[in-house]
Amino acid sequence: MDVEVKERSADDLFKEFKEVSITEFFRKNKAHLGYSGKLRSLTTVIHELVTNSLDACEEAGILPEIEVEIRQIGEEHYRFFERDNGPGIPVGHISNVFAKMLAGTKFHRNVQLRGQQGIGVSGVTMFCQMTTGKPMRIKTSTGDGKVHNVKLMIDITKNNADVIEQSEYSEYWRGTEVEGEVKSVKFNLSDQGPFEYLRRTALANPHAKITFIDPEGRKTGFERSVDVIPKPPESQKPHPKGIEVDDLVNMSKATKASKISSFLVGEFSRMSSAKVKEIQEVIGKEKKEVKGLMVDVYKVDMNWNPRKLTWAQCEEIVKAIEKIKFLAPASEGLQPIDEEHIKKAVLNILDPEFQVVLTRPPKVYSGGIPFQVEVALAYGGHAGRPNETGIRAEVMRFANRSPLLFDTGGCALTEAVKEVDWKRYGVKDFENSPITVFINLISTHIPYTSAGKQTVAYEAEVVKEIKFALMDVGRKFQIFYSRQRREGEKEARRQMLLKYGTELAEGLSKLSNNSPDPKKIYKELIALVEEKIKLANELEMLEDGDEEGGEVPVEEAEAVGEEKEEA
Amino acid sequence: MDRRKEVIARLANMGDELLEEIKKNEVPKMKVPQRGLNNVVFNQKENILELGDKKSTRNFMNVAHTKKFMQSVLIAAKCKELVDRDKTASIRELYYQLKHTIADTKENTFEGQDESDPLIVDLETMLGVLREELHLKADDKGTIIGKITIEDSGDSIDCSKLGRSGLAIPSIVEHYKFKDVKADYVLVIETAAMFDRLVEEKYHVDNNCIMMATKGQAARGIRRLVHRINTELKLPVIVFTDGDPWGYYIYSVLKAGSMALAHESRRLGTPGVQFVGMTMTDIEEYGLDKVTEKLKDVDKKRISELQVYPWFQKKEWKEELQMMSDLGVRLEQQALASKSLEFVAEEYLPEKIKKKKMLP
């Protein structure tokens, strides 16, 4: 993982922009893009900004330092600030990044890490504008001594920036700061709020330093756990099997190809004109009136202009792709977080009594889509989630390092945790244990159930792999846990023996013929107790040695109750 | 006096052995004869319960035994002190003498008398000594009345001259000496109310007998007294209880001994006793079907327990229990008052005893 990444100039990065009008599309599909529900909308805003910062830092080879602040300024009305130490945005590209839908660098490359959700920071500008009518303020500098301050909105009809204010001053500083206002959103500290989003983001991005100031003014810092910047994912054209409807819509709006056929061949891997023909055939024809005559025409004609594709038409194409076989995608693109890095992050953020981390080797599902699973289990410390009744177990789901906070039920990751028989690993009541389970699913294509991209579909191979990983960490946990429990029981036993020991010594002194000093009897008794306990420990260690590698049976509590019978 | 020294020696020896084990780095343990149905043998020939030879090991290092172990030693040490000082304490006094808070805890050495009582019996069986030899006694329970004079610590007590209340029977009657006995038999009665009724009717005077009331389950003192009067004075003993499983079990304890004190059956049991009533056949015989009481669930459960005890397998008792179970009723001694207050003294008892209509 220690890959030196050369800092690339910002201008270089932003050559890859493409322009398309899509604002109307946003308005119609905002629910698909994460802007549904008051809490979720706010989390999506933070997600888009933070993702953008993390991606920019990574690509430029900078260790990210991100600061997020949310202030309440009225009923369901908030102001947010997001700052990073990233490469900054060249002045000419500011409006492209913040006020042009589908203009981001991600849409024409298969950069599957993180930024799979939403349509980037322009969506944030759009959402702010829709709910408050106010512009976004951006302060950015590439470190060339000039700091730019821009206030802008999106011109909805032209999908262009409407720059309201622009100024410049001299300062040697590098980074980007975004400030905006949103209404009809809600902040809270629940599982699905911005705080939890940032906490989990910090866990999955141990190289980032993230600071959060909540509306109450409380400041939380998630310190950097490792100083290694992840290798930027290989730029790779997306595999058709991994495409979701909204991806296709986004990409089709951004393409410069004149026909759907050339768009598909040009933008996807393993896509040939023969495959496009197959797609055409699978989609099939429908009866339509043309110049007064009923004729059979293709429902979606591959010769059409891709920029005019509707959601429903894209759906037809995706459905057709599902029925066709393609060569499997290459697996080099998989980027796990790395066991050591997760360990450090878990230690840093959860400070547990025990943790175990496991990165499984890559596998494939659905006949060839590569994926990889990383799991961690933390116990005690800050692991688990406190509620009124005590600490409950929490499951942290990640897809390519991006936290999945919503739609927990029905997610394959949640299901896999449920399917593990935790009792076998000494966890009597999983739901009510101070346990955090961390699952990161890495894939060139995460099989989401819907465009919301919060729920992973139940792919048997994926679930099986997660379960294996969890069972593996479960076994390691059990060894730790049963030892800890035994220690507790042994100590209780020792205390009990010592407690009654004083009484026994005095009783024995009175009972016996020569009435020796009770203190002397007590001393001998203690020596005996300590020796027997030591002996028991040694025996136990011998037994533990035998258990290595095998399935460890749940340890029975020491036989208590009835006195032993003797004939 | 030798016996006293012997008891002290046994107690001290128990302490020495435990100390020796500790010194030898061995886990201190004591072997306690088991007391319960699985270690009680019914000697059919002699009609008494005997203790088997199963023993439990009480091990200080086993957390389930640790406290009991410590408590047993405290009791033994206290008993040694009592015998040494020639004092006798009630088992309740013993409990209070030993109860105190364990240093640095909120826990007491004993939380209730129910913790110390069974350990006293353990100690008796473990050392093969009697409770009175440990200088322990229980509270007085039971009453005796009739023409018998008892010498107790230099005093002569004429049990026919104590008015209607009679003499309270202490838990230890070992030192009693009997004089001037003028009685044909002994009648042992379960309830105090029936005892009072019979005293008022002067049953013991008219029928020349000694009467005793157990007032519930017969305590050690009354059982020992019955045994001694029966064996030393050769007087027959007749038992009169309620017609229910609890009454029948009182009879069984008087006759064969109890499970808890099976080791003392030969001193406490009186195999020759006979049972006069109440019986299930009395219901028809005396027309008492209107004054029966319905069996409760606990009664039914107790009946089924008695039905499997080896010492309830005599034909007469099996029939009796079966009939009770079938009828679903019990019959109290007081039910006889439905005839008349005098009925029990003037007709029921004299007739049944004369005709020897009694159960073995």
Average pLDDT, chain A: 83
| Of A259 and B103, more confident | A259
Summarize the confidence of residues A413-434 as an average pLDDT.
91
β-strand B48-51 against A564-566: which pairing, if any?
Answer: unpaired
Q: Is the confidence at residue A452, as pLDDT, over 90?
A: no
ipTM of the complex as predicted: 0.77
Which two three-digit tokens encode residue A425? 């690993």
CB contact under 8 A, B19 and A529: no
Question: Which pLDDT band, with edges at 50, 70 and 90, does A530 fall under?
Answer: confident
CB contact under 8 A, B67 and A516: no
Give the per-residue pLDDT at A6.
52
Q: Is the confidence at residue B359, as pLDDT, over 70?
A: yes
The answer to whether residues A411 and A456 touch, using CB atoms and an 8 Å cutoff, is: yes
Burial of A201 from C-beta contacts in 10 A (0-12 / 13-18 / 19+) = buried
B76 touches chain A (CB under 8 A): yes
CB contact under 8 A, A502 and B102: yes
Give the per-residue pLDDT at B140.
84
Q: Is the confidence at residue B109, as pLDDT, over 70?
A: yes
Q: Is the confidence at residue B328, as pLDDT, over 50?
A: yes
Summarize the confidence of residues A386-412 as an average pLDDT.
88
Give the per-residue pLDDT at A556.
32
Q: Is the confidence at residue B103, as pLDDT, over 60?
A: yes
Determine the residue of chain B that is closest to A495 in CA distance.
B63
Considering the domain architecture, whether residues B104 and B152 belong to the same structural domain is answered as: no
> Tell me: the pLDDT tens digits for B259-284?
888 888 888 999 999 999 899 999 99
Summarize the confidence of residues A546-558 as an average pLDDT.
36
What are the residue ranges spanned by the domains of chain A?
A: 10-222, 240-323, 334-557
CB contact under 8 A, A511 and B107: no
Give the per-residue pLDDT at A276.
92
> Tell me: the pLDDT tens digits for A512-522?
988 889 999 99
Q: Is the confidence at residue A83, as pLDDT, over 50?
A: yes
Considering the domain architecture, whether residues B178 and B315 belong to the same structural domain is answered as: yes
Summarize the confidence of residues B43-53 as an average pLDDT.
88
| Of A77 and A7, more confident | A77
**Number of domains present in the structure of chain B:** 2
Examine the fold and report which residue of B122, B137, B152 is the final residue of a domain before the chain moves on.
Answer: B137
> Tell me: the pLDDT tens digits for B12-35?
999 999 999 998 888 899 998 888
The verdict on residue B159 lying in a domain is yes
Instruction: State the fold for domain A10-222.
Output: Heat Shock Protein 90 (3.30.565)
Phi then psi dihedrals of residue A478, to 5 deg:
-60, -40
Could you say which of A503, A528, A566 has the minimum Cβ distance to residue B57? A566
Considering the domain architecture, whether residues B73 and B199 belong to the same structural domain is answered as: no
The answer to whether residues B106 and B44 touch, using CB atoms and an 8 Å cutoff, is: no
Q: Is the confidence at residue A4, as pLDDT, over 60?
A: no
Q: Which of A534-538, B58-62, B210-214 has the highest mean pLDDT?
A: B210-214
Give the per-residue pLDDT at A108.
37
Q: Is the confidence at residue A1, as pLDDT, over 90?
A: no
Q: Is the confidence at residue A15, as pLDDT, over 80?
A: no
Q: DSSP secondary structure string, B25-65?
A: T---EEEEE--SGGGEEEETTTTEEEE-S-EEEEETTSTTT
Whole-number Cα distances in Å, A231 to A55, A114, A335, A401, B39: 11, 14, 8, 13, 77
Instruction: State how far the Cα of B238 lies from the Cα of B358, in Å rounded to an integer.
Output: 9
Question: Which pLDDT band, with edges at 50, 70 and 90, does A565 fall under?
Answer: very low
Give the per-residue pLDDT at A539.
74
B98 touches chain A (CB under 8 A): no
Q: Is the confidence at residue A297, as pLDDT, over 90?
A: no
Hey, of A486, A490, A511, which one would you mutate to test binding to chain B, going by the most B CBs within 10 A of its CB?
A511
Run of H or E residues at A44 = helix A38-60
B286 in active site: no
Summarize the confidence of residues A132-140 as an average pLDDT.
94
Q: Is the confidence at residue A235, as pLDDT, over 70?
A: no
Question: Which pLDDT band, with edges at 50, 70 and 90, does A483 fall under?
Answer: confident
Lowest pLDDT segment from A179-188, A423-432, A467-476, A484-493: A484-493
The verdict on residue B359 lying in a domain is no
Q: Which of B95, B96, B203, B251 is catalytic?
A: B96
> Tell me: the pLDDT tens digits for B234-251?
999 999 999 999 999 999
Considering the domain architecture, whether residues B249 and B342 belong to the same structural domain is answered as: yes
Question: Which pLDDT band, with edges at 50, 70 and 90, does B333 fall under?
Answer: very high
Considering the domain architecture, whether residues B176 and B27 belong to the same structural domain is answered as: no
Considering the domain architecture, whether residues B132 and B167 belong to the same structural domain is answered as: no
Considering the domain architecture, whether residues B119 and B231 belong to the same structural domain is answered as: no
Backbone Cα Rg of chain A = 30
Considering the domain architecture, whether residues B211 and B321 belong to the same structural domain is answered as: yes
Give the per-residue pLDDT at B96.
94
If one looks up domain A240-323 in CATH, what number appears? 1.10.8.50
CB contact under 8 A, A558 and B63: yes
Burial of B317 from C-beta contacts in 10 A (0-12 / 13-18 / 19+) = buried
Instruction: State the fold for domain A334-557.
Output: Ribosomal Protein S5; domain 2 (3.30.230)
Considering the domain architecture, whether residues B7 and B121 belong to the same structural domain is answered as: yes
**Residues in CB range of A138: below 8 A, 6 or more apart:** A89, A94, A98, A148, A149, A150, A151, A152, A176, A177, A178, A179
Give the per-residue pLDDT at A155.
83
Q: Is the confidence at residue A104, as pLDDT, over 70?
A: no
CB contact under 8 A, B70 and A524: no
Considering the domain architecture, whether residues B293 and B154 belong to the same structural domain is answered as: yes
Q: What are residue A149's DSSP bridge partners?
A: A139, A167
The verdict on residue B60 lying in a domain is yes
> Tell me: the pLDDT tens digits for B111-142?
989 999 999 999 998 998 888 889 998 888 89
Lowest pLDDT segment from A329-338, A450-459, B219-228, B252-261: A329-338
The verdict on residue B360 lying in a domain is no
Give the per-residue pLDDT at A233.
62
Give the per-residue pLDDT at A561.
37
Q: Is the confidence at residue A178, as pLDDT, over 90?
A: yes
Question: Which pLDDT band, with edges at 50, 70 and 90, does A9 fall under?
Answer: low
Residue ranges making up the domain that contains B321: 143-354
Give the per-residue pLDDT at A548.
39
Determine the residue of chain A that is closest to B70 in CA distance.
A504
CATH number at residue B345: 3.40.1360.10
The verdict on residue B344 lying in a domain is yes
* pTM listed for this prediction: 0.56
> Tell me: the pLDDT tens digits for B148-203?
999 998 899 999 998 888 999 998 898 899 988 999 999 999 999 999 999 999 99
Q: Is the confidence at residue A321, as pLDDT, over 70?
A: yes
Backbone Cα Rg of chain B = 23
Give the per-residue pLDDT at A3.
44
Lowest pLDDT segment from A531-535, B204-208, B320-324: A531-535
- CA-CA-CA-CA dihedral for B227, B233, B238, B244, to nearest 10: -10
Considering the domain architecture, whether residues B306 and B268 belong to the same structural domain is answered as: yes
Local structure of A161: helix, strand or coil: strand
B27 touches chain A (CB under 8 A): yes
* Interchain CB contacts (distance < 8 Å): A and B: 101
Identical fold for domains A240-323 and A334-557, yes or no, is no
CATH number at residue B8: 1.10.10.10
Lowest pLDDT segment from A17-21, A329-333, B291-295: A17-21
Could you say which of B18, B31, B77 has the minimum Cβ distance to residue A510? B77
Average pLDDT, chain B: 91
Lowest pLDDT segment from A90-99, A106-115, A182-191, A363-372: A106-115
Considering the domain architecture, whether residues B61 and B124 belong to the same structural domain is answered as: yes
Examine the fold and report which residue of B103, B118, B137 is the final residue of a domain before the chain moves on.
Answer: B137
Give the per-residue pLDDT at A562.
42
